Amino acid sequence: MSSKQKILMVCLGNICRSPLAEALLKSKVNSEKVLVDSAGLDSYHAGEPPCPSSINIAAEHGLDITNLRARPFETADFDKFDKIYIMDKLNEALIRKKARNAADLAKVDFILNEIFPGENIEVPDSYQKGRSAAKLVYDMLDKATSAIAKKLEN
């Protein structure tokens, strides 16, 4: 890699899925070669830490996400990031509205397409759904971020 790859993880509120995806990918890549961030398409939770179920499931797997804070997705993120991973079809609809052109949209993909190419499988929203939902989301994102990390190494 000649320059630093910049990856953005996006979900609705940036307090459940995308912070987990951010932390998982950060734990699997060289931070000198890859920048990973996350954002939400709704600014409702801006400035808040990840939700308790995401913090707890991350901690169970040795990841500390307590320092992350939700931030809203901005149109400028299309310019800052090489790849933007979304979690579900609502994210897709909202991000399409923010895209300025085909080049912006070309950067966007469902994160699970990394393990199920072209299937646009959704990562369910685990917000306020407890540990089992958070565990399911964690496992899905763990597999997807492993595939992304492997791709980035090549």
Q: Which of 16, 17, 37, 71 is catalytic?
A: 17
Domain ranges of the chain: 5-153
pLDDT level of residue 14 (50, 70, 90 thresholds):
very high
E strand or H helix at 24:
helix 17-26
Q: Residue 1 pLDDT > 60, yes or no?
A: no
Examine the residue annotation and report whether 11 is marked as an active-site residue of this protein.
Answer: yes
CB of 51 closer than 8 Å to CB of 133: no
Q: Is 100 a catalytic residue?
A: no
Is 79 a residue of the active site? no
Could you say which of 16, 69, 125, 139 is catalytic? 125
Q: Indicate the class that CATH gives domain 5-153.
A: alpha beta
pTM equals 0.95
The closest alpha carbon to 20, from 29, 9, 28, belongs to 9
Q: Which of 11, 16, 37, 77 is catalytic?
A: 11
